[in-house]
Every structure is written in C-alpha cells, then in structure tokens.
A and B are shown apart, each in its own frame.
Chain A
Amino acid sequence: MRCVGYRHLIPDFSVCNYLFKYRLMKKELQVAALENGTVIDHIPPQHLFAVVSILGLSKVKNSITIGFNLASSKLGTKGIIKISDRFFEKDEIDKVALVAPNVILSVIRNYEVCEKICVELPSELMDIAKCPNPKCITNNESVSTRFKVVNKVDKMVKCRYCERVFEADNLIIR
C-alpha cells in the first residue's frame, strides 16, 4: 500500500490506512451509501428504467439513488438502484427477473449488508407487462394483464386472456 501524498504529513501508518479507507468510502459515496434500505445491483443498463417501472419506484416517496452506465466487471456497464428505508417482499422483487434475471438485491441495515437475495421469475406476472398480441382483450380494454410463467428456464409465459405463449423477453413493460 502506498500513501505517497500523505507520508510527509502523517508518519503514522494507521492514520494512512484510515485515509485510504476514507478515499474508498468516498468513491462509494458517489452512489450514496444507505443507512437502511435496499440496493438492487447488476442491472443491465438497458433494463434499468424497466426495473424502476416494474417496482413502481416513480410513485414512492422514499429517497432513491439511480446509477446508470456504471463500470461493472461482470457486465461491462451496469445500473444500480438504492432505495432508502424500503424493503421488498420476495414475490414483489421477483418480478424484476422478467427483465434482469441476474440482479442481486442487498438488504442494508445500519450501513451493513445483512442479506443478499437473488431473484427468480414468479409463477405469475400481474399487471407489469403488456401482451404482445394486438388482438388480446387486454390491449383493447382497461384490463390488468396476467401472465402465467409456464417455463422458468426458457422464460416462457402464457397470457391468461388470449392464452398465447410468449418468450418473456418479448413482453413490453407497462
């Protein structure tokens, strides 16, 4: 570890370590550390706003930090969402798997990650996506859409109304 810029001012190494950690923290602070809340990480950037929409985040009053096109060793670039004082039920967050199956959800309490959750497609998707079939009643009347997930591995879903089967990737997020 080298702290060249500080060595002539602060000979004590423990202080140097502190400063180094502080600089790392400062880097983290660019996307806002959470005291309590939820971090949704590793979101493919092209689906970031779909995740916002699926979770209805535009309608909540909590503080939210959204990071877009951040550097990621896994994805190249990624999106991240940090929501203060908001915790999700499993079935709530699983809907995100529709667009971002590899996201990791971190539950933060008192600045510490106390739980990490992977998402998986739920058995039914309620009113989060439009049916791709233009002749489906849901595209012609004010009807909440419902898709049954018929194959979680291949991400195939079936519309409750027109009964057609689609690849989940072809659904249009509402």
Chain B
Amino acid sequence: MSFKNLVSIKDYTKEDILRLLILASEFEKNPNRKLLEGKVIATLFFEPSTRTRLSFETAVNRLGGRIIGFSDASTTSSSKGETLKDTIKMVSNYADLIIMRHFLEGAARYASEVSSVPIINAGDGANQHPTQTMLDLYSIYKTQGTLEGLNITMVGDLKYGRTVHSLLMAMSHFNPTFHFVAPNSLAMPDDYIIFCKKHKIPFFIHENFTEEVINQSDILYMTRVQRERFTDLMEYENVKNIYTLHNAMLADSKPNLRVLHPLPRVNEIALDVDENPKAYYFEQALNGLYARQAIICDVLGIDI
C-alpha cells in the first residue's frame, strides 16, 4: 500500500515533523480551504472523546469534506460482536480516510494493516495519540520560535500519560533537556529513561514540584492523573492531587515560559493561572485544528 498512515509519532522523522509544522502554520493563516471537496472522511470513535473528535470534525468541515462515523460504539455492530477488522474493511469501502479512536492498544496499527484507505490514530488506549503530540509540538514551536534546545518540564502522571511519552520521543530530535516531576508511583517508565540515556538526552528527576524547577523551564507540561488508568483506586487516591500549579508559582518564571496541558484538567492547574499570559492550554487546543488539518492533507497526499 503506497498511502501513508499516522499510527504512532515514531512513524514521523524529524523532517516529517518540521514539514507538518510549516503546513500547520499555513492552515492557521487560513483554515477554510476546500481541499477535501468530494471526499468522505470516517470518524470511528470506539471510545468517548470530546476535544479530539470535535477538533477532527472541525478540521474536516473547514476543508470542505463530509463526515460519516460514530461517537459511541454501543450503537454500532461492535456491540453485536463484530470484529474491528470487519468494521474497518466495511468502512474503508465507503470513506477516503479513517480517523479512529479505540480503547485497545495497537488497534490503529492493526486497522492500518487491514484498511484499503489511510488511517489516522486518534488514540489507542494508553498507547499512542500522535495528533496530540503534533499539536503539542506546534504549540511549542509557535510560542518558542524553535524546537531546538528547550528546557521541558513534565509534571504529574508520567507513568500512564501517553502524551508525555510521545512528546518525549518526538522532542528527542531537537536536543531538549527534560525535567520529570512525578511521585515515585507515577514516575517516568524505565523504557523512556533508558531511551534518554541511549540518545544522550539530559534529564533530571524530581519528586517535589518547586519554583526552582519551574524557573528554569521554557515549557511546563502539566498532566492530569488519570483515574481510568489505575487498577488500584487506593493508589489513585494517594496521588490524585499531588501537584497543583498556582499563579504565584509563576512569578519568577522565564518570560518565554508557557504552560501546556493536553486537557481536560481537574485540579492540577488552579483557575487563577488561566488569566496569566503564560497559560497557553486553551490556545494549545485550538492549535489542534491546524495540526490536524495538516496531518489529514499529508496522509491523503494533498498539496496546499
């Protein structure tokens, strides 16, 4: 099959990332382009999602494409026991592109093997969410003017949080320095620590979320402790409110610092941070629209 898929951020080289960032900036200048006219895009959400689905559907609508699909798998043949393979085979008969979210890890990779049209992974369980990573990269690129040589502090659930794992892998092309702030029970998994060591990426591990760490950061990437990823609820209760960013903590931070969060947030960013110009999480979500427009056109081989 000659078409592209986007299943994992690791499918993209450094050059792919830079090319897509430029493409995203073009869509930001003008997001309304009829590039998908006459095309049908399927959005298959086997797992509930608000931001990602709306962002993708807005991206398609602004590009003039039509959408088929579902946002609740309980109303589909999956609930009757239809296999993912059969669903994908059937939908790929109708659509030019499939955007899918699934609760099982590896579902998008498997779908890409059985589909006759490109697949974009909109999240597969705790595994990958590459379009989130692209919008994170675009947000970093936009606010810092570069991806090179940045101090990136990741805070919260670094064990189960797929966004931090993918961001770490993607940023590894750009000589970053990482600070990992997490309690022991939610520490960055060994695989990623080994990855950093192997690629000679400097990193620092902290258990305390202090202003000292914040003040040396260019990007503060906050994450939610995700209840749904815990099998032991006692463990969740122990760590759910462990770190909260308050506005006062940003007083001596670098002028270029921006606070990112993949959303939804719960208690990890206090509401008083919202008014600080360094709070960037709502704009970050908007950047998802442009990043996804760029990705859709890229996998379909559409030049702008």
CA distance A143 to B85 in the complex (A): 9
Q: Are B83 and A161 within 8 A (Cβ)?
A: no
8 Å CB contacts to B: which residues of A132-172?
A: 133, 135-138, 140-143, 159-165
Residue interface bits B86-109, CB-to-A below 8 A is 1, else 0:
000000000000000011111101
8 Å CB contacts to A: which residues of B79-135?
A: 83-85, 102-107, 109-110, 124-128
Q: Does B275 contact A (CB under 8 A)?
A: no
CA distance A137 to B84 in the complex (A): 9
- Across-interface contacts of B126 in A (CB, < 8 A): 135
A163-B110 contact in complex given A137-B84, A141-B85, C-beta closer than 8 Å: no
- Across-interface contacts of B8 in A (CB, < 8 A): 163
Q: Are A161 and B106 within 8 A (Cβ)?
A: yes
- Across-interface contacts of A142 in B (CB, < 8 A): 83, 85
Interface residue tally of chain B, by bracket?
10 to 19
- Across-interface contacts of A141 in B (CB, < 8 A): 83-85, 110
CA distance A151 to B41 in the complex (A): 40
- Across-interface contacts of A159 in B (CB, < 8 A): 106
- Across-interface contacts of A140 in B (CB, < 8 A): 104
Q: Closest approach, in angstroms, between the C-beta of B82 and any C-beta of chain A? A: 11
Q: Does B191 contact A (CB under 8 A)?
A: yes
Q: Closest approach, in angstroms, between the C-beta of A147 and any C-beta of chain B? A: 12
Q: Are A135 and B128 within 8 A (Cβ)?
A: no
Q: Are A160 and B109 within 8 A (Cβ)?
A: yes
Q: Are B191 and A135 within 8 A (Cβ)?
A: no
Q: Closest approach, in angstroms, between the C-beta of B34 and any C-beta of chain A? A: 36
Which chain B residue shows the least CB distance to A163? B127
Q: Closest approach, in angstroms, between the C-beta of A133 and any C-beta of chain B? A: 6
Q: Closest approach, in angstroms, between the C-beta of A134 and any C-beta of chain B? A: 10
A135-B125 contact in complex given A140-B104, A163-B106, C-beta closer than 8 Å: yes
Q: Are B85 and A162 within 8 A (Cβ)?
A: no
CA distance A111 to B246 in the complex (A): 80
Q: Are B106 and A137 within 8 A (Cβ)?
A: yes
Q: Which of the residues A135, A143, A164 comes within 8 Å of B110, measured between beta carbons?
A: A143
Q: Are B110 and A162 within 8 A (Cβ)?
A: no
- Across-interface contacts of B103 in A (CB, < 8 A): 135
- Across-interface contacts of A135 in B (CB, < 8 A): 103-105, 125-126
**Residue with the greatest number of chain B CB neighbours at <10 A, chosen from A136, A159, A160, A165:** A136
Q: Which of the residues A136, A143, A160, A163 comes within 8 Å of B128, measured between beta carbons?
A: A163
**Residue with the greatest number of chain A CB neighbours at <10 A, chosen from B8, B104, B126:** B104
CA distance A164 to B128 in the complex (A): 11
Q: Are A161 and B110 within 8 A (Cβ)?
A: yes
CA distance A162 to B127 in the complex (A): 6
CA distance A163 to B127 in the complex (A): 7
Q: Which of the residues B83, B104, B105 comes within 8 Å of A163, measured between beta carbons?
A: B105
Q: Which 9 pairs from chain A and chain B are nearest by CB? A: A161-B106, A162-B105, A137-B106, A162-B106, A137-B104, A137-B107, A137-B110, A161-B109, A135-B105
Q: List 25 A-B contacts (CB under 8 A).
A: A133-B105, A135-B104, A135-B105, A135-B125, A135-B126, A136-B106, A137-B84, A137-B102, A137-B105, A137-B109, A137-B110, A138-B106, A140-B104, A141-B84, A142-B83, A142-B85, A143-B110, A161-B105, A161-B109, A162-B125, A162-B127, A163-B127, A163-B128, A164-B105, A164-B127
